[in-house]
């Protein structure tokens, strides 16, 4: 299993760089992963999304879909794309220290 060093934190990641052990996640790790994903700074709006994802995961054991984020009133899909350009579901999950969202089969 590959390991990555972010500042003082060592974390286990999978082949695509998603954390495999959520307990290793810290805000510092999040900021470092975000930088690699092209997000220079995590703003309060980013944190609102990350915190919602954590809450959802704790309650349902699932990474929430974009539709869920939109429907819950946390953030509109358009804003989500502005905050996490490219693939918001994947990027936000990676920064939040969660597994890759299951694209349903």
Partner 1 sequence: MKRLIILGAGTGGTVMANLLRKRLRRAEWAITVIDRDNEHYYQPGFLFIPFGFYTKKDIVKPRSKFLPRGVEFIVAEVDRINPAANEVVFQDGSNFPYDFLIVATGAEIVPSETPGMLDGWRDTIFDFYTPDGATALAEKLKNFQGGTIVVHVNETPIKCPVAPLEFAFFCDWCLIRHHKRDKIELVYVTPLPGAFTKPVASKALGSLLEEKRVRMVTDFNAERIDAAARKLVGYDGREVAYDLLVTVPTNMGSEMIERSGMGNEYRFLPTDPNTLRSKKYENIFAIGDATDLPTSKAGSVAHFQSEILAENVLRAIEGKPLEPGFDGHSNCFVEAGLGKAILIDFNYDVEPLPGRFPFPVIGPMPLLKPSRINHWGKLAFRWIYWHMLLRGRPIPFVPARMKMAGKKRPETGAGPGETK
Position 58 contacts partner 1 (CB under 8 A) = no
Contact (Cβ atoms closer than 8 angstroms) between residue 39 and residue 48: no
| Helix/strand/coil percentages in the chain, nearest 5 | 50, 10, 40
For residue 24, count other CB atoms closer than 10 A to its CB: 17
Position 55 contacts partner 1 (CB under 8 A) = no
Position 4 contacts partner 1 (CB under 8 A) = no
Q: Tell which positions 24-53 bind partner 1, by CB under 8 A.
A: none
Q: Find the binder of partner 1 among 11, 44, 66, 94 (CB under 8 A).
A: 66
User: What phi and psi values does residue 7 have, to the nearest 5 degrees?
Assistant: 60, -120
Distance CA 52, CA 27 (A): 15
Q: Tell which positions 67-96 bind partner 1, by CB under 8 A.
A: 67-68, 71, 77-78, 81, 85-87
Position 22 contacts partner 1 (CB under 8 A) = no
Position 17 contacts partner 1 (CB under 8 A) = no
């Amino acid at each position: 299993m590959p390991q990555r060093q972010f500042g003082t934190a060592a974390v286990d990641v999978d082949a695509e760089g998603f954390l495999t052990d959520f307990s290793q996640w810290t805000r510092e790790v999040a900021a470092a992963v975000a930088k690699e994903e092209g997000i220079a700074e995590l703003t309060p709006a980013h944190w609102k999304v990350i915190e919602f994802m954590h809450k959802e995961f704790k309650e349902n054991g699932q990474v929430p879909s974009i539709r869920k984020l939109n429907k819950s009133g946390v953030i509109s899909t358009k804003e989500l794309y502005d905050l996490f350009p490219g693939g918001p579901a994947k990027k936000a999950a990676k920064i939040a220290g969660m597994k890759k969202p299951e694209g349903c089969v």
